[in-house]
């Protein structure tokens, strides 16, 4: 299971590969909302999202055990991250994507020289095909979140936040499958238990929120939220118990709030983040004004130009 030591180990493993991302602030936004807001800039991370942290930690480990190729199933940021780090380490990446994958996502994977394999339209079909390739080609499968090495890699963000803002009160983290928040929460709670960790989901993809209420993993099926990185149907088997243990609260945001947060970050801070990152900003901005120091984890910046123009109208 993931713990502080494994996160520190992950940091050593990946420090030469990843960027230590800046923590930005905006005086105008802070004074408007009555809390001091900081933005942890993973949209400036290599490959455009934090996913490179977990993927690197996992693939370095597989390479050290002799792997020559690896396989993942993802049309988004995980696929790009896996392609990038695999090639960098001299391994062959195969990424299984849906048959109807958007052209821009294919382009993202190809840009990092990942081999693309098309399969079906559902995530079950893709996962099945990835596992099959894994067996046939003796290529380890790299999951997007439900893996201790992946969680430990994502947790390195928590160490950076504590170093960059020693007096932080609260951290807002978007939740998809829960790999990001389980790593970040473990790092922060095991060093500074009083720092509050707040998970954020779109109202239209509230699987973790419902699971916490029920005390067990709930599956909500598909979702149409604009935050495409958070459309997971259910929290992970390994991530969920960590979320139950360490996450203080889960906040839901609606689609309009996500778009507003995206636009504010773009126009005031001149930063392009993706909609899945904007959910954390949206929740942080609507928090009660109490002069707290709060961090919104801007998890990525890979947004289609068509989405940008539809939000800006
Ligand atoms: C994957 C992803 C998330 C969600 O991370 P999980 O580990 O699945 O919870 C959030 N934002 C971005 C940009 C992502 O790529």
Ligand 1 pocket, residues with Cβ under 6 angstroms: 49, 51, 77, 145, 174-181, 229-230, 274, 276-277, 299-300
160 with 171, same domain: the answer is yes
- Domain termination residue (choose one: 142, 158, 183): 142
Q: What per-residue confidence (pLDDT) applies to 180? A: 98
296 with 246, same domain: the answer is yes
124 with 180, same domain: the answer is no
110 with 243, same domain: the answer is no
Contact criterion met (CB below 8 Å) for 209 and 159: no
Q: How far is CA 143 from the centre of its chain?
A: 13
Residues 313, 311: Cα–Cα separation, whole Å: 5
Span 213-227, pLDDT tens digits: 999 999 999 899 999
14 with 77, same domain: the answer is no
Task: From 276, 297, 298, give the residue whose CB has the most ligand 1 atoms within 8 Å, as the site to mutate.
Answer: 276
255 with 276, same domain: the answer is yes
pTM (predicted TM-score): 0.97
Q: What per-residue confidence (pLDDT) applies to 35? A: 98
Rounded distance from Cα 74 to ligand 1 centre (Å): 12
164 with 130, same domain: the answer is no
25 with 91, same domain: the answer is no
Contact criterion met (CB below 8 Å) for 265 and 217: no
- Domain termination residue (choose one: 123, 142, 161): 142
154 with 56, same domain: the answer is no
Q: What per-residue confidence (pLDDT) applies to 213? A: 98
Query: The domain that contains 305 carries what CATH number?
Result: 3.40.50.1100
34 with 152, same domain: the answer is yes
Q: Number of folded domains in the chain?
A: 2
Q: What per-residue confidence (pLDDT) applies to 106? A: 85
State the DSSP string of 238-287. THHHHHHHH--EEEEE-HHHHHHHHHHHHHHH-----HHHHHHHHHHHTS
Task: From 2, 230, 237, 303, give the residue whose CB has the most ligand 1 atoms within 8 Å, as the site to mutate.
Answer: 230
24 with 155, same domain: the answer is yes
- How high is the mean pLDDT in each 10-residue block of the chain (313 residues)? 97 97 96 97 97 98 97 92 97 92 83 93 88 96 98 98 98 98 98 98 98 97 92 96 98 98 97 97 97 98 93 93
88 with 19, same domain: the answer is no
- Domain termination residue (choose one: 92, 112, 142): 142
- Please give the residue range of the domain that contains residue 211: 4-49+147-312
């Amino acid at each position: 299971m993931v713990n502080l030591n494994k996160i520190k180990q992950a940091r050593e493993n990946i420090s030469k590969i990843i960027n230590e991302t800046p923590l930005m602030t905006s005086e105008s936004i802070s004074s408007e909302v009555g809390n001091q807001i900081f933005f942890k800039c993973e949209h400036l991370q290599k490959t455009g999202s934090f996913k490179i942290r977990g993927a690197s930690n996992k693939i370095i480990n597989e390479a050290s055990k002799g792997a020559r190729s690896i396989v993942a199933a993802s049309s988004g940021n995980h696929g790009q991250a896996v392609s990038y780090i695999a090639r960098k380490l001299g391994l062959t990446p195969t990424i299984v994507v849906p048959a109807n994958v958007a052209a821009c996502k294919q382009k993202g994977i190809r840009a990092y020289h990942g081999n693309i394999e098309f399969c079906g339209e559902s995530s079950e079909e893709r996962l099945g095909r990835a596992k099959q390739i894994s067996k046939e080609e003796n290529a380890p499968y790299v999951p997007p979140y439900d893996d201790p090495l992946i969680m430990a890699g994502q947790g390195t963000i928590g160490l950076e936040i504590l170093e960059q803002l020693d007096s932080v009160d609260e951290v807002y983290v978007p939740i998809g499958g829960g790999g990001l928040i389980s790593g970040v929460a473990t790092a922060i709670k095991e060093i500074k238990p009083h720092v509050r960790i707040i998970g954020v989901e779109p109202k239209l993809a509230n699987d973790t929120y419902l699971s916490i209420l029920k005390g067990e993993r709930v599956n909500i099926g598909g979702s149409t939220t604009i935050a495409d990185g958070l459309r997971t149907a259910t929290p992970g088997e390994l991530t969920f118990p960590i979320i139950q243990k360490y996450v203080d609260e889960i906040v839901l945001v609606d689609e309009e709030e996500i778009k507003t947060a995206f636009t504010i970050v773009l126009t005031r801070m001149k930063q392009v983040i993706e909609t899945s990152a904007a959910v954390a900003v949206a929740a942080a901005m609507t928090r009660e004004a109490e002069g707290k120091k709060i961090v919104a984890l801007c998890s990525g910046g890979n947004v289609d130009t068509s989405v940008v123009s539809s939000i800006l109208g």
